[in-house]
Amino acid sequence: MTDQLPAIIVLTPMFGAILVSLLGNRDHRICFPIVLVSLLISLGASFGAAQEVFSTGAINYFMGGWEKPLGIGIQLRIDALNALVLLVIGSVSILTAFFSIRRIGEKNTEKTPQFYVLYLLLCSGLFGITIAADAFNLFVLIEVSSLTSYGLVAMGSSRRGTHAAFNYVIMGTVGASFYLIGVGYLYMKTGTLNMMDIRSILQSNVDIANSNAVTIAFLFILVGIWIKMAFFPLNGWLPNAYSYCPSSSACILAPLMTKVSVYVMLRVMISVFGLEWIFSHAQWSELVVWLAVIAILAGSIFALAQREIKKMLCYLIVAEVGYMVGGAWLADAEWWGLTGTIYHIIADAAMTLCLFLAAGIFVRRFNAVEISDLEGLFKKAPWTSVGFVIGGLAMIGVPPTCGFYSKFYLIRGGIDAGHWQFVAALLISSLVNAVLFFRIFEIAHFGNKPAEGHDHSHDANADEAPARQEAPLNALIPLLVSAAAILLIGLFNGQIVELIRVALEDFSTLALNLR
């Protein structure tokens, strides 16, 4: 059975989606159990696969049984790198599924089955992206997840959401098309679509590896993926799309889409082109690290200027993407930058999930869209506040949250590689996050104007115990679980980094000979 795990991971949510579409219209209550069961099966299969990978080695799976010659069929591959990402996708999707339960009678529940169909197909697409080992298959799965995400973003009833979704559609399609052009150029020079095969051809034929076409292929694939991950300045679609979409959609899209795109960039860099080839052009590394620095600073500064909570969080995502791209391109001798990036994929997914869940609760429970609406939050909803505070501290980078450790590894990589501008950008961004979040904590704790707090005493029980409006349980539990995950990922960073180093060893014929 373990050899069928890759197929199970990708296909179970798809079957779940078909079931929901067939049965959901009759009774909406059957949707959520189907969603939960299919995602749990996928998560379980991911655990199984991760265990197998870390004990025995990578799992290769050939669709249709077409193994030889390499490339006629489509290969799926689970190795140490994507086993971790699979676990992240599985966990985040289950937690958000809990958050998205609506009671019957709340507005916009008529399209619940369609929401869950798109949700499950999104998860299936993300799992598929993670384990794809064929360049064109990756494109198809990117389109599956993109199309479902367009649907999820546009489902809300806000006006600005529709316009944001349209921009998202256009930019997303242009990004995927750039990726396709890149794959076309690569196919023209190597004659195959299988990632392993392309890598071996590039390694054994130096003239192909040095040709213009391969360089342009890499450039276009990279730019296409950068559009998908909202790397500044290609991030125009992200703030509007994730701020004006329904909270449930934001909670599944924000933690996952950009991180999986970062993973795709890493996969292309490591498994298709190979790190030696990329970093043999040392000036690229310089250039990209500078771009990442700009991205980090831009994201942080824009975040500072926002009044709306979700928009602010979206710009923080832009900054985090900057961390990850910069870390991956640092090219320090012992690959701490790359380790930091991979660790940050996991950490950032947890942090973003926690913060967006909190933001979703604010909107649903308190109608709080702007930061100033959050006054007195700590008293009204202490548990929600706990979750939100942990998320905020992780963004700032306070130990023992995971945010501290990911910054630690990234800074270490930056120092090793001598890219001081990257280290400076990371520190500045931590400072800016601290300003941002402590401002929010102050408003939430003391209220906007502390002096007027006394006016509330006109109400009989205002000062001592303002009405407790705790978040509903189905929203609170995912929030607290993700907050706990932030702490656990931080506390166990040693073990996680061990596993990541194992993953990188598979790919490092590179490493130490590079300098």
Partner 1 sequence: MVEFFEQHFNFWIYVILMMIGLWAVIAKNNLIKKLIGLSIFQTAIILFYVSLGVKENSTIPILDHHAPAAEVSADPHHNDEPSETGNHGELHPKAGHENDHHADAHVGAHAVEPDTMANPLPHVLMLTAIVVGVATLGVALALAQLIYKEFGTLEENEVLEIIKGGEAND
Partner 2 sequence: MLSKVFATIAVVITGGLLLYGVMDFPAFGDPHSPPNAGVKGGGESISQYFITQTYRDTKVPNIVTAVLADYRGYDTMFETVVIFAAGMAIFAILRVVGDNNDPTKKELSSDDALSQKGDHNRIIIGTTCRIIIPIVQLFGLYVVAHGHHSPGGGFQGGVLLGSSFILLALSQNLNAALRRFSEKNYFTLAATGILIYAGFGVACQILEKNFLDYGVLQKVLFTDGPEMARSHSMLGVEVGVAFTVTAIMFSIYANLSSRGTLKDGL
DSSP for residue 309: H
Choice between 177 and 474, CB closer to partner 1: 177
Q: How far is the CB of 146 from partner 1 (least distance, A)?
A: 8
Residues facing residue 63 across a β-bridge: 74
d(CA 356, CA 195): 35
Which pair of structure tokens corresponds to residue 166?
């349209």
Distances (CA, A) of 68 to 72, 75, 131, 204, 497: 7, 11, 20, 20, 35
How many binding residues for partner 2 (CB under 8 A)? 68
Binding of partner 2 by 147 (CB under 8 A): yes
Do 506 and 58 contact (CB within 8 A), yes or no?
Answer: yes
Residues facing residue 61 across a β-bridge: 76
Please choose which of partner 2, partner 1, none residue 173 contacts, taking the beta carbon within 5 to 8 angstroms, the exact cut-off set by kind. partner 1
Q: Which of residues 28-57 bind partner 1 (CB under 8 A)?
A: none
Please choose which of partner 1, partner 2, none residue 177 contacts, taking the beta carbon within 5 to 8 angstroms, the exact cut-off set by kind. partner 1
Distances (CA, A) of 260 to 28, 126, 226, 309: 30, 7, 12, 24
Q: How far is the CB of 66 from partner 2 (least distance, A)?
A: 6
Q: How far is the CB of 189 from partner 2 (least distance, A)?
A: 6
Part in contact with partner 2 (CB under 8 A); list of ranges 89-97, 146-154, 227-235, 274-282: 146-154
Choice between 70 and 514, CB closer to partner 2: 70
Tell which residue, 175, 132, 177, 147, has the closest CA to residue 268: 132
Part in contact with partner 2 (CB under 8 A); list of ranges 34-42, 183-191, 298-306, 417-425: 183-191
Q: How far is the CB of 205 from partner 1 (least distance, A)?
A: 19
Which pair of structure tokens corresponds to residue 113?
């089955």
Please choose which of partner 1, partner 2, none residue 60 contacts, taking the beta carbon within 5 to 8 angstroms, the exact cut-off set by kind. none
Do 9 and 46 contact (CB within 8 A), yes or no?
Answer: yes
Part in contact with partner 2 (CB under 8 A); list of ranges 85-93, 99-107, 206-214, 232-240: 206-214
Q: How far is the CB of 509 from partner 1 (least distance, A)?
A: 30
Burial class (CB in 10 A: 0-12, 13-18, 19+), 325: buried
Backbone angles phi, psi at 381, to 5 degrees: -145, 80
Part in contact with partner 2 (CB under 8 A); list of ranges 212-220, 281-289, 421-429, 448-456: 212-220
Q: How far is the CB of 180 from partner 1 (least distance, A)?
A: 6
Do 265 and 179 contact (CB within 8 A), yes or no?
Answer: no
Which of 38, 130, 192, 306 touches partner 2 (CB under 8 A)? Answer: 192
Residue 148 gets the label, from left (phi > 0), alpha (psi -120 to 50) or beta, of alpha
Q: How far is the CB of 60 from partner 1 (least distance, A)?
A: 21
d(CA 11, CA 7): 6
Tell which residue, 37, 33, 34, 43, has the closest CA to residue 10: 43
Q: Measured over all CA atoms, what is the biggest interatomic distance in the chain, rounded to whole angstroms?
A: 82
Q: How far is the CB of 111 from partner 2 (least distance, A)?
A: 5
Please choose which of partner 2, partner 1, none residue 448 contacts, taking the beta carbon within 5 to 8 angstroms, the exact cut-off set by kind. none
Binding of partner 2 by 219 (CB under 8 A): yes
Between strands 74-78 and 59-63, the pairing is antiparallel
* Residue 122 CB partners (closer than 8 Å, separation 6+): 144, 145, 148, 149, 152, 252, 253
d(CA 30, CA 25): 9
Q: Which of residues 108-147 bind partner 1 (CB under 8 A)?
A: 136, 139-140, 143, 147
Q: How far is CA 439 from the centre of its chain?
A: 26
Please choose which of partner 2, partner 1, none residue 64 contacts, taking the beta carbon within 5 to 8 angstroms, the exact cut-off set by kind. partner 2
Q: Where are the alpha helices (DSSP H) in 1-30?
A: 5-23
Binding of partner 2 by 271 (CB under 8 A): no
Which of 140, 428, 477, 510 touches partner 2 (CB under 8 A)? Answer: 140
Q: Which of residues 45-74 bind partner 2 (CB under 8 A)?
A: 61-66, 69-74
Choice between 173 and 215, CB closer to partner 1: 173
Return the axis-axis angle of helices 473-491 and 382-396, rounded to nearest 10°: 30
Q: How far is the CB of 150 from partner 1 (least distance, A)?
A: 5
DSSP for residue 269: I
Q: Annotate each residue in 166-195 with x if it binds partner 1 (CB under 8 A) or - if it does not, as one string.
A: x--xx--xx--x--xx--x--xx----x--
Return the axis-axis angle of helices 80-99 and 112-131, rounded to nearest 10°: 170
Give the interface with partner 1 as residue ranges (CB under 8 A): 136, 139-140, 143, 147, 150-151, 154, 159-160, 162-163, 165-166, 169-170, 173-174, 177, 180-181, 184, 187-188, 193
Give the interface with partner 2 as residue ranges (CB under 8 A): 4, 7, 11, 14-15, 18, 21-22, 25, 61-66, 69-74, 110-111, 114-115, 117-118, 121, 124-125, 128, 136-137, 140-141, 143-144, 147-148, 150-151, 154-155, 165, 181, 185, 187-193, 197, 200-201, 203-205, 208, 211-213, 215-217, 219-220
